[in-house]
Each structure stands twice: as C-alpha cells, then as structure tokens.
Amino acid sequence: MIGIQMTSFIAILAAGGLAIGMALSGTLQNFAGGVIILVLKPFKVGDYITAAGHSGTVNEIQVFYTILKTVDNKTIILPNSSVSNNSLINFSVEPTRRVDLEFDIGYGDDIDKAREVLWAIIKSDNRVFEDPAPMIAVKELANSSVNIALRVWLKAEDYWPYYWEIHEKVKKAFDKNGISIPFPQTDVHLYKSETGNA
C-alpha cells in the first residue's frame, strides 16, 4: 500500500527488533535479577554483604540495582544481574560469628605461658561464649615464629569491636609477660676459609 516490498519491511522490523533486544538485554537481565532477589530474599536492607566483588551494608534494593553503603560511607550501585548470578556472602544472617585470630611468638618463648596469657584475655571478656568453647592451639611452626591460633564465638554485632580490641590486649599482655612477637628475619653465617678469606 505504501510502495515498500513486504520482504524488505519484515527484514527491517526484524533487524530493529534484534537491535532493541540486544540493547535491552542487560536491562532485562537486571530486572530478572531484581525479581529473583525480591522473591528469594538472600539479603535484606541493613544486612552486610559481599557481592560481585564489593562489600557493604545494603541500603536499598531496587528492581534493577542493589545499593550498598561501605564502612567509609561510599555508595556502590550493583546491577542486580551480577548480584543474583554470582556467589554472595551475607554476614548478617546468623546471630553468632566465630573470630579466627593468629598470634606469633618466638621460638625461644614458652608456649604454655603464651597459652595462659591468651586464656586469661579470653576469660576476662564476657562477650566470648563458653559454648561453643574457645580454642587455642599451635597452628604452625613457621620460619621465624611459632604461630598460635585462637578461635572464639560471640554475637555477630560484637565481631568487629572484639577483633580490634583483642590485638591491643594481646600485645600489651605479651609485653608484660616477656613474650616476644618476632618479625621475619634471615640469619647469615660467615665462615673463614683456609686461605684466610671470608
């Protein structure tokens, strides 16, 4: 009726549809990801998560994007397709968390004394659960130190305050009890040869 070949018209429509479909594919994937997140609810507003290589507190869940706030108050906008199609860690789901720490002492230091000092620090803090019981054990005999592992359970909200505080407590207690925290070092031995040269 308008003088355009029908086959040409259909080809133009198909090409246009393909172009629009490709242009919207990312948007549609984000929409589908948003629907999955809203239905399955792997996290909620206020949860602290790691997703698509970024960590932060969930500030907003939109249809196309999830918005995080980092601890230093940066805003991260994540496409929902990357959030729903990749592994995700939600640190806020469980009410309790385990703190895994490692403290190094010198080979010349007394392991039993170091263990007693660590136990005293643990028992003096009422945030640490008795069940599951705390654990202290020699983890590794490293090149420059004896590495002692310490594991305690506490409420999720106490994780970071305890984590920061115990390092200072251990350093002060080790200093007070003469327990060293060694640094990596290399011993070089020089031997005098028979010719008199080192």
Whether the full predicted model's pTM is greater than 0.85, yes or no, is: no
Q: Which residues contact 134 (CB under 8 A, 6 or more apart)?
A: 119, 122, 128, 150, 151, 152, 153
pLDDT at position 18: 46
Quote the CA–CA distance of 103 and 175 in Å, as a whole number. Answer: 13
pLDDT at position 25: 54
Quote the CA–CA distance of 117 and 126 in Å, as a whole number. Answer: 16
- Written as one string, the DSSP assignment of 58-84 is EEEE-SSEEEEE-TTS-EEEEEHHHHH
Could you tell me the two tokens for 54? 């970024």
Instruction: Give CA separation, 148 vs 18, 20, 98, 173, 193, in Å.
Output: 61, 60, 16, 15, 41
What does the pLDDT profile of the chain (198 residues) look like in tens digits? 554 555 555 555 555 554 455 444 567 787 888 888 888 899 999 999 999 889 999 999 998 899 999 999 999 999 998 898 888 999 999 999 999 999 999 999 999 999 999 999 999 999 999 999 999 999 999 988 999 999 999 999 999 999 999 999 999 999 999 999 887 766 677 777 766 555
Structural domains of the chain sorted by starting position, each given as residue range(s) with its CATH number in brackets: 1-93 (2.30.30.60), 96-176 (3.30.70.100)
